[in-house]
Structure 1
């Protein structure tokens, strides 16, 4: 099929080439031979009157025209996929669809076991691919490489729909053998003077990261260790007098396997509750499979919060 003398099949090849910046990887993605992909690139260059991909050293880089085309082509293909390729109904018991979710390790531990348990009751063939919150995960959502993103409201994309999954509080975690656990209290003065373990999520740019630290660690004068992992933070307080400020649900889960004592945040140290959102691409709001998954996520929150051991001591 052609539109304005362009073979529309070439748009799929163009999308792969612009995303992969590699003829061989794009060919592999589309299950084509490398010569066939090279031929497609030649035809695209002729049509657009532009090189699109140029060699810079040992890499291929996008031309300015290709940079403009990249998002436009992806948007067109996502609209086609939503309007034509997506089935009108979704039956989980008969589907082998793979859902790709961008999640933090906090979400993997606290929520995803409940999602998978509920999904298993309805389907033995639906699959889940959990993608880490690495370099600018929002791009994966916008490009269609991810179906759903679970992220705090502050970091959600402004141009795509969101739903509130749950709210989360924070607490302080110390080792059972620490001086704070032995004394049975943690004051604001003690908090400020102690050594701390801080989480530095890798997906954040510098302004966002600065805001993150001001919100969570403003009262902490000594950051003695940082980690990319929410789940890793409490391991780094074991055997020390350090403090980790972390999500209450995750702290309660990890207390079951680590020698930890949990304290509420010190008085006069307000920290806003985290609003954990699920977000999807605006063109996929009517995707029946995604509607099923979003409903499953809400059911999983209810299941997560009916688990025992939900009382914060102190």
Structure 2
């Protein structure tokens, strides 16, 4: 199909080239040969009268014209996908669809089992693909690389629909045999201790650090960073470090590791865990079903007895 003399199939190639910044990797993404992908780039250059991608050392860099096209091309492809490629009905028992969901390891441990249990009860044949935590999940949603985000409210995009799933409190985990487990965990002891914190891949900061600085005017001494939440309780074992952890996750890990849980001596606002989906996919029957399942999973999780 052509529009204003442009073969619209070339937009798919342009999107892959701008994403991968490599003819070889773009070819793999498109299931084309490198020569066919190189030919597509040549046709794109001719149409836009611009190099689009130029060789800089061993990498290809986009031109200003290409950068201006990147988000517009992705937006067009997401619109086409949501309007044309999505089936008008969804039956979870017969669907071969893959739902791509951005969710942290914390979410997968405490919440996702409830989601999968409900999906299994409906004999769901669809596949769930949980994507790794990154510092900018909104980009995955914008680019159509994720169907749905399950993230704290503070990280949501203002440009797409959102819905609260549940609230989560925080507790402090310390080694059962360490000095931090002896006596009350005061604010002074908390701030003087080394802290084990989660740092997302590609991230430059922590929401905890931001909250501590903004709300309390203090800074924690970070001793250890990890790319996942589930490791934090284990990393305090054998040390006098403190890990400030989601309460549900902490209670799970207390069954495995020799740790004690203490209330945070500094008030930490509960985390509001939300789901967010692309505005163009609000009527997608599969995502309508999935969002309903997520709501029910949150109710199921909240009804679960609290472990000591």
Q: TM-score, normalised by structure 1?
A: 0.90
CA distance in 2, matches of 1:301, 1:23: 44
- 8 Å contact 1:23–1:37 — kept in the other structure? yes
Which stretch of structure 1 is more off in the superposition, 30-39 or 86-95?
A: 30-39
What are the superposed Cα offsets for residues 94-124 of structure 1, whole Å, 9 maximum, x if unpaired? 1111111111111111111221222122235
RMSD: 2.2
Separation in structure 2 between the aligned mates of residue 9 and residue 106 of structure 1, nearest angstrom:
40
Superposed displacement of residue 188, structure 1: 2.6
Query: Within 2, Cα distance between the matches of 1:77 and 1:221?
Result: 44
In the TM superposition, 1:92-241 aligns within 5 A as 92-183=92-183, 185-206=184-205, 211-212=210-211, 214=213, 222-241=221-240
Decide whether the 8 Å contact of 1:193 with 1:220 is kept in 2: no
The CA deviation string for residues 45-85 of structure 1, in whole angstroms up to 9 with x for no partner, is 11111111111111111111111111101101111111111
Q: Distance in 2 between matches of 1:217 and 1:109?
A: 30
Task: Point out the more displaced range, 144-153 or 225-234.
Answer: 225-234
Other structure's SS at 1:94 match: coil
Contact 2:20 2:26 in 1 (8 A): yes
Aligned to 1:285: 282
Residue 182 of structure 1 deviates from its aligned partner by: 4.4
Aligned position for 1:24: 24
CA distance in structure 2 between the partners assigned to 1:160 and 1:179 by the alignment: 47
The Cα offsets for residues 13-33 of structure 1, whole Å up to 9 and x where unpaired, read as 221121122222222222222
Number of residue pairs matched? 308
- Measured against aligned partners, the alpha-carbon deviations of 1:145-176 in whole angstroms (never above 9, x if no partner) come to 11111111111111111111111111111122
**CA separation of 1:88/1:21 partners in 2, compared to 1, >3 Å: closer, same or farther?**
same
CA contact (8 A) 2:200 2:227 kept: yes
Tell whether the 8 Å contact from 1:54 to 1:62 is kept in structure 2 after alignment. Answer: yes
Describe the superposition over 1:172-220 as per-residue Cα deviations: whole angstroms up to 9, x where unpaired.
Answer: 111222334344x323333233333233333534596852553699656
Preserved contact between residue 198 and residue 223 of structure 1 (Cα < 8 Å): yes
- Name the residue aligned to 1:61: 61
The gaps in structure 1 that reach 5 residues or longer are: none
- TM-score (normalised: structure 2): 0.92
Q: Secondary structure of 1:144's match?
A: coil
* Alignment partners' CA distance in 1, 2:23 and 2:66: 15
Does the 8 Å contact 1:191/1:220 carry over to 2?
A: no
Q: Which runs of 5+ in 2 are unaligned?
A: none
SS of the residue corresponding to residue 164 of structure 1 reads strand
